[in-house]
Structure 1
Amino acid sequence: MSKFNDIIYSEKPVLVDFFATWCGPCQMLSPILKQVKDNLGERITIIKIDVDKNQELASKLQVRGVPTIILFQQGNQLWRQSGVLSKDEITKIILEKTNG
């Protein structure tokens, strides 16, 4: 948990993907997030958290379904969404919420 806090308290925005290995939509989201990272490069950190292996963290952040993506900056939750979005939608939201 402390490592997670170290990551989300970064100056750089952090997009956290809560997923499960058995989740079909999660598998669809993975290449989309790679495209977002390729597009934004060093402006964003993207990490993946397996909810089955990190149940305490998922519970603390009230992740009820997967995939859920949450955008943090300096420890603040700026945005969250469950389900699959397109690369363009995710990129636009990140830039809007973090003053790009």
Structure 2
Amino acid sequence: MPKPYPARYRANPNRKGKIMSSELIVHTGDAAFEQDVLKSDLPVLLDFWAPWCGPCKMIAPILDDIAAEFEGRLKVVKINIDDNEATPSRFGVRGIPTLMVFKNGDVVATKVGALAKGQLTAFVEASIA
């Protein structure tokens, strides 16, 4: 039997129906994508992921760190590609994890595959500058 996820990765019932990886990460879906990502006042780092994806699990704690480090300057959002097929299709996602940075509703940078924290930090800093 698999171990349960640590408490910080479980659903938080106090967050208006959104499932959170941490208090700073928003999980979105096809229906809420426009509001959560395209209409965001802050730049958005969007993670296309799936629960069965090993590299996605590897970068999850790094995304938590990025969300904390860039709080107030960047919004970190995750979308499960198994539960939401329209958005990955719309943006041509072919592999996961795929990370995209959005500014003012437009994709300004994309990376496919797991990144180390230093690489992800540099990617974000260059993308939101």
What TM-score do the two structures reach when normalised by structure 2?
0.71
**1:6 maps onto 2:49 in alignment:** no
- Partner Cα distance (2:46, 2:108) in 1: 12
C-alpha RMSD over aligned residues: 1.3
The number of residue pairs the alignment matches comes to 99
Q: Give the structure 2 partner of residue 53 of structure 1.
A: 83
Q: Distance in 1 between matches of 2:111 and 2:77?
A: 15
Residue 46 of structure 2 is aligned to residue 16 of structure 1: yes
Tell me how far apart the structure 1 counterparts of residues 114 and 57 of structure 2 sit (CA, whole Å). 10
Gaps of 5+ in 2: 1-29
Q: CA deviation at 1:93?
A: 1.8
Q: Distance in 2 between matches of 1:57 and 1:16?
A: 11
Superposed, 1:1-100 pairs within 5 Å as 1=30, 3-8=32-37, 9-99=39-129
1:43 is paired with a residue of what secondary structure? Answer: coil
Q: Which structure has greater helix proportion?
A: 1
Identity of aligned residues (%): 34
TM-score by length of 1: 0.90
- State the 1:3 CA deviation: 2.3
Unaligned runs of 5+ in 1: none
Work out which of the two has the higher radius of gyration on C-alpha atoms and give 1 or 2: 2
Q: Given the superposition, is the C-alpha separation of residues 23 and 2 from structure 1 closer, same or farther in structure 2, using an over 3 Å criterion?
A: closer
Task: Compare 49-58 and 36-45 and name the one that shifted more.
Answer: 36-45
